[in-house]
């Protein structure tokens, strides 16, 4: 648990929105370079082959994405503030007044909009869109701002990694640095059989890295490690909770991009029950992940998604429980062992 948590912390504190995953990629390679044969494809995906004690009957792939949601600079205003647009599914309601870092120099800034006492009646009570938001980096002119940032710079949440309450963690980028942390630990622990691992780019903007990486690997079976929306909050009831933090990893039967392999879905729950691992599924057909690209690759890949239930997804303050992280690692390792030679 401690090792996976430390990996998660190190990964979450790195900045890497879609298309700008370099820092995350460098860290991952530093952690697995002695345990795997590594290549980086033209899109920036890390493809790692981990040789086991012996070859497997089936070619097995484990995948997670490196990128996080964020924003990108699209214009520099005359007063030195920045106009931005979202990269990935970011709700403008979760970014107002939040601290951010801009560009390679990590210039500090704050997401700003019109003060509440200056809003018209029509504007009050409405969430401003990104066209109404700016980033204040403490400059007074365009010329001053241009010395610090440029168009196309990444804008990332400035968020602490915090352990709190009864084993909870709060951070940005848990989607999907949690999956990356589990994969690093699986590689460091050396799988028993030959296994491919892909740390992919640009999931948040359309499953792009997974599309190319899965084509390269050409696997028989794939496991996508992810974080998924938990809405287990007081205002949600019954099926609207989707899944619950603290009740174990989430194995999906269907989302907006994938109908998952039914035999592998059943195997996951059978394995969890046999090994006394709490496990749950989603109660809504919602969302999607890299499985949507992987299961359609080449002549088809039998695909399973194992996700961490996560509150406040795609925000600066994603929340998971550490026991779910540990159980997701254990369940993935056990299912892998039952898949190599099916």
pLDDT tens track for 188-233: 999 999 999 999 999 999 999 999 999 999 999 999 999 999 998 8
* CATH number of the structural domain spanning residue 257: 3.40.630.10
* Residue 301 sits in the same domain as residue 209: yes
Residue 113 binned pLDDT confidence (cut-offs 50, 70, 90): confident
pLDDT of residue 282: 94
Examine residue 54 and state whether it is found in any structural domain, yes or no.
yes
**CB atoms near residue 190 (< 10 Å):** 13
Q: Quick: pLDDT tens for 4-43.
A: 999 999 999 999 999 999 999 999 999 999 999 999 999 9
Count of CA atoms in the C-beta half-sphere (13 A) of 239? 4
| Domain match, 22 and 75 both | no
Any domain includes 165? no
342 falls within a domain: no
Whether 317 and 214 share a structural domain: yes
CATH number of the domain residue 116 falls in: 2.40.30.40
Whether 116 shows a pLDDT value over 80: the answer reads no
Say whether 53 is catalytic.
no
Do 216 and 325 belong together in one domain? yes
User: What does the pLDDT read at residue 120?
Assistant: 66
Residue 128 has what pLDDT? 81
Note whether residue 128 is domain-resident: yes
Q: Cα 120 to the chain's mean position, in Å?
A: 38
Close Cβ partners of 80 (under 8 Å, ≥ 6 residues apart): 137, 138, 139, 140, 141, 142, 144, 145
**Cβ-Cβ contacts under 8 Å for 88 (sequence gap 6 or more):** 17, 18, 67, 68, 69, 70, 204, 205, 314
DSSP annotation of 149: -
Which tens digits make up the pLDDT trace of 32-81?
Answer: 999 999 999 999 999 999 999 988 999 999 999 999 999 999 999 999 99
Is the domain of 181 the same as that of 245?
A: yes
Assess whether 149 and 18 both reside in one domain: no
Output the pLDDT for position 235. 81
Residue 276 has pLDDT above 90, yes or no: yes
Tell me whether residue 162 is in a domain: no
Query: Quick one: angle between helices 2-12 and 174-188, nearest 10?
Result: 130
Region class of 30: left (phi > 0), else alpha (psi between -120 and 50), else beta = alpha
Query: Taking the CB of residue 140, how many other CB atoms lie within 10 A of it?
Result: 11
For the chain, the helix, strand and coil percentages under 3-state DSSP, each to the nearest 5? 30, 25, 45
Same domain, yes or no: 129 and 240: no
SS3 for 168?
A: strand
**Which one of 203, 263, 270, 330 is the catalytic residue?**
203
Q: Which of 157, 186, 209 is the last residue of a domain?
A: 157
Note whether 235 and 133 are same-domain residues: no
Based on the fold, state whether residues 185 and 86 are members of the same structural domain: no
Give the pLDDT of residue 129: 86
Same domain? For 59 and 125 the reply is no
Q: For residue 196, what are the domain limits?
A: 2-68+172-337
pLDDT of residue 114: 67
Task: Note the pLDDT tens digit of each residue in 120-135.
Answer: 666 677 778 898 899 9
Residues 56 and 91 in one domain: no
Examine residue 289 and state whether it is found in any structural domain, yes or no: yes
Q: Please determine, for residue 175, whether its predicted confidence score (pLDDT) is greater than 90.
A: yes
112 domain residue, yes or no: yes
Mark whether 87 and 142 lie in a shared domain.
Answer: yes
From 157, 180, 214, give the residue that closes a domain. Answer: 157
**Whole-angstrom Cα Rg for the chain:** 21
Looking at 99, 132, 157, the residue that finishes a domain is: 157
Domains in the chain, number: 2
Average pLDDT of the chain?
Answer: 95
The pTM (predicted TM-score) of the whole model is 0.95
In sequence order, the 6+-apart residues with CB closer than 8 A to the CB of 235 are: none
Residue 119 has pLDDT above 70, yes or no: no
Q: What per-residue confidence (pLDDT) applies to 127?
A: 76
**What pLDDT score does 214 carry?**
98
The residue ranking higher by pLDDT, 114 or 148, is 148
The answer to whether 87 touches 152, Cβ cutoff 8 Å, is no
């Amino acid at each position: 648990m401690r090792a996976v948590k430390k990996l998660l912390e190190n990964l979450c504190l790195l900045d890497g929105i879609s298309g700008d995953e370099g820092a995350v990629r460098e860290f991952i390679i530093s952690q697995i370079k002695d345990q795997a044969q590594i290549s980086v494809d033209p899109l920036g995906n890390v493809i790692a082959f981990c040789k086991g004690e012996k070859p497997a009957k089936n070619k097995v792939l484990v995948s997670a994405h490196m990128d996080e949601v964020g924003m990108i600079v699209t214009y520099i205003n005359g007063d030195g503030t920045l106009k931005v647009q979202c990269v990935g599914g970011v709700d403008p309601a979760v970014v107002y007044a939040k601290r951010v870092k801009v560009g390679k120099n990590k210039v500090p800034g704050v997401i700003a909009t019109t003060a509440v006492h200056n809003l018209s009646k029509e504007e009050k009570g409405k969430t401003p869109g990104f066209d109404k938001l700016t980033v204040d980096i403490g400059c007074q002119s365009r010329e001053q701002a241009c010395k610090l940032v440029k168009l196309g710079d990444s804008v990332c949440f400035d968020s602490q990694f915090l352990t709190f309450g009864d084993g909870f963690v709060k951070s940005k980028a848990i989607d999907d640095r949690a999956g990356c942390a589990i994969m690093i630990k699986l590689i460091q622990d050396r799988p028993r059989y030959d296994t491919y691992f892909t740390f992919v780019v640009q999931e948040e903007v359309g499953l792009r890295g997974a599309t190319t990486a899965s084509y390269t690997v050409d696997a028989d079976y794939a496991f996508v490690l992810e974080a998924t929306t938990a809405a287990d909050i007081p205002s949600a009831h019954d099926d609207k909770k989707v899944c619950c933090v603290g009740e174990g990893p989430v194995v999906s039967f269907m989302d907006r991009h994938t109908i998952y392999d039914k035999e592998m879905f059943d195997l996951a729950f059978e394995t969890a029950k046999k090994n006394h691992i709490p496990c749950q599924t989603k109660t809504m057909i919602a969302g999607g992940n890299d499985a949507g690209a992987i299961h359609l690759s080449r002549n088809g890949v039998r695909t399973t998604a194992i996700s961490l239930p996560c509150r406040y997804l795609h925000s600066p303050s994603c929340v998971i429980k550490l026991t779910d992280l540990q159980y997701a690692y254990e369940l993935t390792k056990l299912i892998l062992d039952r898949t190599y030679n099916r």
